[in-house]
Amino acid sequence: MKAEVINPFLESARHVIEQVIQVSPSTGNLGVKEIGYLENHIWIQIGMTGQMNGDIVFGIQEQVALQMVSVMMGGYVITEMDEMGQSAISELGNMISGNASTILSNQGVSVDITPPKVMKSDRTSSLIQKKALCIPLRMEGIGELDIQVMIS
């Protein structure tokens, strides 16, 4: 897996977060790691097909997701990830992936994305371990959003 595969998602996530969450995220260190579900996390999974195939998974601690959704809802404080919150965080993943697919298209790479799938983890949920390119985006005063790319 080539590291440059993550760049369109990183660029898009920075732009979307600046516009929607109104913070300028800083970038953590790029790495390869085994991913899996963690307790108290929200996962937004988006599939990609075309010249790139695989999944993009955005991982967010539930409290961070609640803060992000609260900002997206105009400051209305969200205390639990209900259907409306899941819809909002799903749309954030969709916006990031849609922008990334446009960036890829402008680079001559044709891809399609699937609708986002939001998953909440709990103690009993598990994911078959997969290796992913991973880069965290740190949002000051809010927390981190991990971009995990599993594309061939």
- Residue-wise pLDDT tens for the chain (152 aa)? 566 788 999 999 999 999 999 999 999 999 888 776 678 889 999 999 999 999 999 999 999 999 999 999 998 898 999 999 999 999 999 999 999 999 999 999 999 999 999 988 654 344 555 788 899 999 999 999 999 988 87
Number of domains in the chain: 1
* Confidence at residue 13, expressed as pLDDT on a 0 to 100 scale: 96
What's the CATH code of the domain at 23?
3.40.1550.10
Strands (E), the chain: 26-27, 31-35, 41-50, 54-61, 111-113, 117-120, 130-139, 143-151
CA 8 to chain centre: 12
What does the block give as tokens for 150?
């599993």
What is the rounded CA–CA span in Å between residue 110 and residue 64? 32
**Phi then psi for 117, rounded to 5 degrees?**
-120, 120
| Closest residue by Cα to residue 104 from 55, 45, 50 | 50
Long-range CB pairs of 23-26, under 8 A, 24+ apart, other chains included: 23/139, 23/140, 23/141, 23/142, 25/137, 25/138, 25/139, 25/145, 26/137, 26/138, 26/140
Cβ contact 35:41 at 8 Å: no
Q: What proportions of the chain, in percent to the nearest 5, are helix, strand and coil?
A: 35, 35, 30
CA 149 to chain centre: 9
Q: Indicate the DSSP class of residue 5.
A: G
Q: Which domain holds residue 129?
A: 3-151
Number of other residues whose CB lies within 10 A of the CB of residue 80? 7
